[in-house]
Amino acid sequence: MQSVERLEAEASEVVADVGAVLAEWELTVAVAESLTGGKIANQCAAAKGSGDWFAGGVVAYHSDAKHRVLGSRKDQ
């Protein structure tokens, strides 16, 4: 089983690779998170040059917040 640190390092590499492609194609990405608690947005924001391709994110954990902020169904 891999350590959390190793998984986070691998995630950082993937985010950097995706970010490079987004920047090259002049695209951006935004994220909506719940159970991840902002970890994806954190990885994106920490990547070098992310200001060129990371638009931002929303963390909506409670189902009421998911419905109000993200427009999800109330039962999700």
Provide the CATH number for the domain around residue 17.
3.90.950.20
For residue 36, tell me if it sits in a domain. Answer: yes
Tens of pLDDT, residues 34-75: 999 999 999 999 999 999 999 999 999 999 999 999 998 876
Both tokens of residue 16? 């950097």
CA separation (Å) from 73 to 57, 63, 64, 66? 19, 9, 9, 8
Report the number of distinct structural domains present in the chain.
1
For residue 75, tell me if it sits in a domain. Answer: no
- Print the domain residue range for 26: 4-70
Identify which of 4-13, 14-23, 62-71 has the greatest average pLDDT: 14-23
What's the confidence (pLDDT) of residue 72? Answer: 87
Whether pLDDT at 33 is above 60: yes
For residue 76, tell me if it sits in a domain. Answer: no
For residue 61, tell me if it sits in a domain. Answer: yes
